[in-house]
Structure 1
């Protein structure tokens, strides 16, 4: 039976399970480095190492590469600050291209090799020229992902009619 840890890439998102045969001392709140299909990422442990039945493993299980060091956390914070700058530039470039889209959020991966841009739009939008220009400006791979209004609310956070934090940002995961 494989030993796994549950991790999250962002707070209140889906919990993913990664193999942790070598890192049995990990605890909730620890940060780790993992390899995903999209590249290397920093994630937070939310479930301590535990065994699961082999039948529960769907596809190939990836492993935790290592515990995140202080340097890894500094790098993560550096890219998080650059995300705010990227957001302003992306919004400006979208206006220059006269695109009817709302840039909601920008996320760099751990290495800065990919910039994921979340946007919302009423209609289908051809943003290929925008992507080419952004790739030239940021010198990295650009990925744009269209999201709906509920996902937008989750990314931006806010207060519901009841006066409390939105459920999708405080406790709903799916």
Structure 2
């Protein structure tokens, strides 16, 4: 999905709407909702739901009551009620699906204090709103400079203006509590507007700013993920991942949200495997589990006295040994079970070219080395050696004929050269 302002330019370079997913055409936003009830008519005598969902900058969405019975549709820019003044937003959902969303967000749609939609935004409202949006980057830079001068341990990540330009909300992240009273005074004096400070988490900061993850794709939180679930290191342990914080941490500095995507599948698969802390008692010594491979369905065990040598066992073999240990019977050694795995020949899947496709490099010409070129030249010379010998003999005869003493041309040339040398002075 992409809007007209986010498409590529004439030279093929991406233009980008530079609105962090809040472009005016509402075609490239992660919060865009598909209204699958739009083509269905209401039953006779049923009134349409009088609440609408309105989206503001980035991930902020709120519900408003349509008291004026305006004919609103998805994509309309409206003026809404706020605590002071009015705000400008875009309608993202109407009809019965709004009721479903309000139940999901635990918002009471019978609340009489629900804010209202004033009107559809006029061109003057849109121009004022756009001017305020253009000032956000400059004000954010200036606010960061003021925070550095005051030596506050905080990071201002984003600024959001109200639609009428009378108020600005500053989103910041901080590890500890920050006393920003002086900061608010300085910013209100410098910008001439009312200031509101709102602290957000590091995940919400990455969601607002966006970026590219280690997988090469856009961040999930800035494209489609709307809720953040807690991620623990146990998710990495279940999936047999190395506990390397540099690889497990995302752009926000916390554990990656994608660690939870396949966690349930791994937990279901590990139900058929013995526990990771399984101990096997053998006559040769005590054995510990070193590694578990879910895909190959194998476990690696090693003795306590010899941890360097690992022995491969299947889950069924481990369960068999555990049952004997419960009966206080010790197995002779792990090698007996490991040898059985080595004797079994694993069938390798051979991929055949049944479609008849050729190699991808069939059009590439092989590079010839210099040695092969020299060999080919020598072969050609040997093959045509008779003709060359005859030509060499003819050339020799010609040279010998030119060097004979009886040759009149050579004698004439010698006499001329001798006379010229006599005429030249010695100093010349």
TM-score, scaled to structure 2: 0.37
**Which of 209, 229, 239 is residue 156 of structure 1 equivalent to?**
209
User: Which SS does the other structure have where 2:132 is aligned?
Assistant: helix
- Matches of 2:132 and 2:190, distance apart in 1: 16
Deviation at 1:149, TM superposition (A): 0.4
Q: Which residue of 2 aligns with 1:143?
A: 196
Change (3 A) 1:125 1:139: same
**Which of 23, 31, 35 is residue 81 of structure 2 equivalent to?**
35
Deviation at 1:29, TM superposition (A): 0.9
- Matches of 1:58 and 1:163, distance apart in 2: 45
Q: Which residue of 2 aligns with 1:126?
A: 179
The question of 1:79 aligning with 2:115 is answered: no
The question of 1:111 aligning with 2:164 is answered: yes
Deviation at 1:69, TM superposition (A): 1.5
Change (3 A) 1:161 1:16: farther
- Matches of 1:144 and 1:111, distance apart in 2: 18
Change (3 A) 1:163 1:13: farther
User: Which SS does the other structure have where 2:115 is aligned?
Assistant: coil
Per-residue Cα deviation, 1:120-156 (whole angstroms, up to 9, x for no partner): 1122111111111111111221111111100110111
Q: Decide which structure has the larger Cα Rg and report it.
A: 2
* Stretch deviating more after TM superposition (9-18 or 96-105): 9-18
For the Cα contact (< 8 Å) 2:50–2:69, is it kept in 1? no
Matches within 5 A, 1:21-60: 21-24=68-71, 26-37=72-83, 39-50=85-96, 57-59=109-111, 60=113
For the Cα contact (< 8 Å) 2:125–2:164, is it kept in 1? no
**Residue ranges of structure 1 left out of the alignment (5+ in a row):** none
User: Which SS does the other structure have where 1:160 is aligned?
Assistant: coil
Deviation at 1:15, TM superposition (A): 5.0
Higher-RCO chain (CA-CA 8 Å, sequence separation at least 6): 1
Matches within 5 A, 1:88-103: 88-103=141-156
Deviation at 1:5, TM superposition (A): 1.9
Per-residue Cα deviation, 1:102-123 (whole angstroms, up to 9, x for no partner): 1101111112221211111122
Change (3 A) 1:13 1:110: closer
Q: Which residue of 1 aligns with 2:285?
A: none
- Matches of 2:190 and 2:199, distance apart in 1: 21
Change (3 A) 1:121 1:90: same
- Matches of 1:66 and 1:151, distance apart in 2: 31
- Matches of 1:101 and 1:112, distance apart in 2: 25
**Residue ranges of structure 2 left out of the alignment (5+ in a row):** 1-46, 228-428
Per-residue Cα deviation, 1:80-111 (whole angstroms, up to 9, x for no partner): 11111110110110111111211101111112
More helix by share: 2
For the Cα contact (< 8 Å) 1:32–1:43, is it kept in 2? yes
- Matches of 2:67 and 2:211, distance apart in 1: 35
For the Cα contact (< 8 Å) 1:119–1:144, is it kept in 2? yes
For the Cα contact (< 8 Å) 1:7–1:18, is it kept in 2? no
TM-score, scaled to structure 1: 0.87
